[in-house]
């Protein structure tokens, strides 16, 4: 393959790629969200390189509808985290539809689910309760935070463009040996208080889009872990065939679209499940500390899942990736019925290396 700008001839990578994942693929497939960081600060030059990767992200019409804020002040990050926890506590008291409560409270929660279904999905709302209880930190000790603001005047979908810029930054950070974690819950401080808009100078046309915690990870949390397969409709030569996950639900039944599942019924709501090989487990506890949902515990120096009534595993894969002896494996992702029912998902599978047509 010839680079016409330089005149250099480069070896075609196709044959090598048949045998192993490329470096770019490995960065994408092995990256994990990191929730334990070393205290040492990220060098400024690394942060600037990460921001530069975000600047070169594609966007609709090349309008680049974003602005980046960098927080490296420990007291400011801790104060922001405390404010998000306070808002989370109020929301949990008012809207926790997952446990028992008064009929009026449950009616209000169901109304809000219909108004804000993405925010009140069981997975993020479960995290809100964990944040409120102090079991889940916001930035998990990350010494640097990048806040992504969107220009609401942006064409097409500025939220998507900001997400692409953020993914560029996350992958660039990973390639530099850093860990990252997307933290969308920061929006609670911008939606329900005026303090942080004033303090950070956020005014029209900018609004909060997302944030990323960055730091040097504790342990080795990266790894290629299984994820559900999704069916792909492949059109070629006048024929459509479905690849993978053929048995998955492809449509949400009308009877399920408005129904809120009963979280006391495990046939309607079941958490994720991982398996721990007791013979291989060394009892190091890394998986327990890495779990954002507190779904693992040490019993007799062996990791295991907490009792099912307390299990809120979302199968994020953090425990699987961080285990130094490979004792933790994925078994089942969480399942929900009603309006939160997952569709277009098949069996779990690790990253696959396709070498043929």
Residues 194 and 299 in one domain: no
Residues 208 and 244 in one domain: no
pLDDT above 60: residue 6: no
Length of the chain: 357
Residue 5 lies in a domain: no
Distances (CA, A) of 138 to 76, 81, 104, 144, 313: 13, 6, 30, 12, 18
CATH assignment of the domain containing 204:
3.40.109.10
Residue 356 lies in a domain: no
Residues 86 and 234 in one domain: no
Residues 165 and 293 in one domain: no
Residue 311 lies in a domain: yes
pLDDT for res 351 = 94
Mean local confidence (pLDDT), 214-237: 93
Residue 13 lies in a domain: no
Q: Which two tokens stand for residue 30?
A: 């092995």
Residues 164 and 215 in one domain: yes
Nearest to 252 by CA among 261, 240, 244: 261
Residue 9 lies in a domain: no
pLDDT above 50: residue 274: yes
Residue 92 lies in a domain: yes
Decide if 36 contacts 289 (C-beta within 8 A).
yes
pLDDT-based confidence at 88, cuts 50/70/90?
A: very high
Decide if 348 contacts 230 (C-beta within 8 A).
no
Residues 151 and 284 in one domain: no
pLDDT above 50: residue 194: yes
Residues 88 and 174 in one domain: yes
pLDDT above 90: residue 77: yes
pLDDT for res 282 = 95
pLDDT for res 1 = 43
Average pLDDT, the chain: 91
Where is pLDDT greater, at 150 or 312?
A: 150
Range of 333's domain? 227-255+266-349
Place of tokens 């196709």: 14
pLDDT for res 9 = 43
Least confident interval from 15-19, 302-306, 316-320: 15-19
pLDDT for res 234 = 95
pLDDT above 70: residue 5: no
pLDDT for res 2 = 44
Residues 30 and 114 in one domain: yes
Question: pLDDT tens, 131-169?
Answer: 998 888 899 999 999 999 999 999 999 999 999 999 999
Residues 129 and 236 in one domain: no
Residues 237 and 203 in one domain: no
pLDDT above 90: residue 113: no
Place of tokens 């092995």: 30
pLDDT-based confidence at 195, cuts 50/70/90?
A: very high
- Quote the number of domains for the chain: 2
CATH assignment of the domain containing 293:
3.30.70.20
pLDDT for res 197 = 97
- CA gap 166, 55 in Å, rounded: 10
Question: What's the DSSP call for residue 353?
Answer: -
What lies within 8 Å, CB to CB, of 43 at 6+ separation is: none
């Amino acid at each position: 393959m010839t680079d016409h700008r330089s005149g250099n001839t480069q070896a075609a990578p196709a044959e090598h790629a048949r045998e192993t994942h490329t470096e770019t693929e490995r960065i994408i497939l092995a990256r994990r969200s990191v929730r334990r960081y070393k205290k040492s600060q990220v060098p400024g030059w690394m942060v600037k390189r990460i921001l530069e990767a975000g600047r070169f992200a594609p966007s609709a019409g090349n309008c680049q509808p974003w602005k980046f804020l960098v927080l490296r002040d420990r007291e400011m990050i801790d104060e922001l985290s405390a404010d998000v926890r306070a808002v989370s506590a109020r929301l949990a008291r008012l809207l926790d539809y997952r446990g028992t409560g008064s009929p009026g409270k449950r009616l209000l929660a169901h109304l809000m689910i219909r108004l804000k279904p993405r925010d009140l999905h069981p997975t993020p709302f479960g995290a809100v309760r964990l944040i409120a209880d102090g079991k889940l930190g916001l930035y998990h000790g990350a010494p640097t935070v990048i806040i992504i603001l969107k220009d609401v005047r942006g064409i097409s979908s500025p939220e998507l463009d900001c997400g692409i810029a953020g993914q560029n930054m996350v992958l660039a950070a990973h390639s530099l040996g850093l860990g990252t974690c997307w933290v969308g819950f920061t929006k609670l401080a911008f939606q329900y208080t005026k303090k942080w808009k004033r303090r950070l100078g956020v005014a029209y046309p900018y609004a909060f889009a997302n944030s990323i915690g960055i730091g040097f990870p504790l342990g080795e949390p990266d790894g290629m872990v299984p994820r559900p397969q999704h069916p792909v409709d492949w059109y070629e030569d006048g024929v459509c065939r479905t690849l993978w996950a053929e048995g998955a639900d492809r449509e949400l039944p009308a009877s399920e679209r408005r129904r809120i599942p009963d979280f006391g019924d495990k046939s309607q709501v079941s958490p994720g499940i991982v398996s721990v090989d007791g013979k291989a487990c060394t009892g190091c506890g890394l998986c327990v500390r890495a779990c954002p949902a507190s779904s693992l515990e040490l019993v007799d120096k062996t990791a295991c899942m907490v009792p099912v009534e307390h299990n809120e595993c979302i199968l994020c894969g953090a425990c699987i990736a961080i285990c130094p002896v490979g004792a933790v494996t994925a078994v089942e992702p969480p399942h929900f019925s009603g309006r939160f029912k997952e569709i277009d998902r098949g069996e779990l599978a690790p990253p696959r290396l396709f070498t043929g047509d």
